[in-house]
Amino acid sequence: MNFGLIIIGDEILSGKRQDKHLAKVIELLGARGLSLAWAQYLGDEPVRITAALRTAFASGDVVFSCGGIGATPDDHTRQCAAAALDRPLALHPQARELIMARVRKLAVEQGWTADPDHPDTIHRLNMGVFPEGATIISNPYNQIPGFSVGEVHFVPGFPVMAHPMIEALLDGRYAHLHGGGAQQERSVIVYGAMEASLTPLMIDVEARFPGIKVFSLPSVDHPEHGRHIELGVKGRGETLLSAYAALLAGLRSRGVPLGPEMVRGTGDQ
């Protein structure tokens, strides 16, 4: 299965807050032999969020959506998920119990009465209003749950909440997929060549070895290698080794100077 990530919030796009989700999700997946297929940033715009979620639900991918599931006016994700699914919103019974338990705990700590009809309590309960048929995702930080519909999972924008929730999903619901996306990369530093001159070789290697991807990472001011290209292949097993051998042979036949070779696995930094 492919894994996708949606990150929602005007504060990310405006630069008020730096995104911490992308790097962490890549890390969490990589540690389990998995990889991220795509990621998308969205502002707090309901039409755009609804369209993106409709695509996510239809994709069949495992998708983590971070942000916008609160109950303030700029939180639209729950409503957009319902619209994308063409389902009504409803207070989830288990979410209600978890939120009320949180309210009672706060009441004891702060010395007030936990009234389920108080406007503040009703506002908190709105955070448990999910698309009909959703299941909850436990939140170990403050017990206010996220929710899942199919393979799309909605967690808060706060990293301290979102990341443990995503990790629990990966180690629970998706534990059987661990290692299924493991790939290896083999690459070499190429000096004194232009990408355009190497493109025919790259196309040839991909055509000869199905399942292999060839990548090219040019650099103009690397502190050690200066202007160069890191040229390599990524894939699995013996096919990867054969493709890399073909790539090296092609480079040597062109007489381009080669530097260090590198091997990386899924999750390597």
Per-residue pLDDT tens digits for 230-242: 999 999 889 999 9
Kindly report, residue by residue over 144-164, the tens digit of the pLDDT: 999 999 999 999 999 999 999
pLDDT of residue 159: 98
Token representation of residue 181: 């996306």
pLDDT of residue 179: 86
CA distance 155 to 147: 7
Could you tell me which of 162, 99, 159, 154 has the C-alpha nearest to residue 126?
Answer: 99
Kindly report, residue by residue over 25-82, the tens digit of the pLDDT: 999 999 999 999 999 999 999 999 999 999 999 999 999 999 999 999 999 999 999 9
In sequence order, which ranges of 112-178 are alpha helices (DSSP H)?
Answer: 119-125, 159-171
Residues in Cβ contact with 156 at an 8 Å cutoff, skipping those fewer than 6 apart: 66, 67, 69, 70, 139, 144, 146, 162, 165
Query: Are residues 141 and 134 in contact, defined by beta-carbon separation less than 8 angstroms?
Result: no
Kindly report, residue by residue over 129-147, the tens digit of the pLDDT: 999 999 999 999 999 999 9
pLDDT of residue 268: 45
Q: Which residues are bridge partners to 42 per DSSP? A: 8
Task: State yes or no: pLDDT of 100 exceeds 50.
Answer: yes
pLDDT of residue 265: 75
Residues constituting the chain: 269
| Domains of the chain: residue spans and CATH | 3-177 (3.40.980.10), 184-265 (3.30.70.600)
pLDDT of residue 205: 97
Q: How confident is the prediction for the chain on average, in pLDDT?
A: 94
The pTM score is: 0.85
Q: On the CB side of 125, how many CA atoms lie within 13 Å of its CA? A: 19
CA distance 143 to 141: 6
pLDDT of residue 269: 39
Token representation of residue 78: 């729950």
Residues in Cβ contact with 137 at an 8 Å cutoff, skipping those fewer than 6 apart: 145, 146, 147, 148, 153, 154, 155, 165, 168, 169
Q: Among positive and negative, which fits the CA dihedral 217, 221, 223, 225? A: positive
Residues in Cβ contact with 102 at an 8 Å cutoff, skipping those fewer than 6 apart: 124, 142, 143, 144
pLDDT of residue 267: 46
**102 to 107, 114, 145, 157, 161: CA distances (angstroms):** 9, 10, 11, 19, 15
Q: On the CB side of 252, how many CA atoms lie within 13 Å of its CA? A: 6
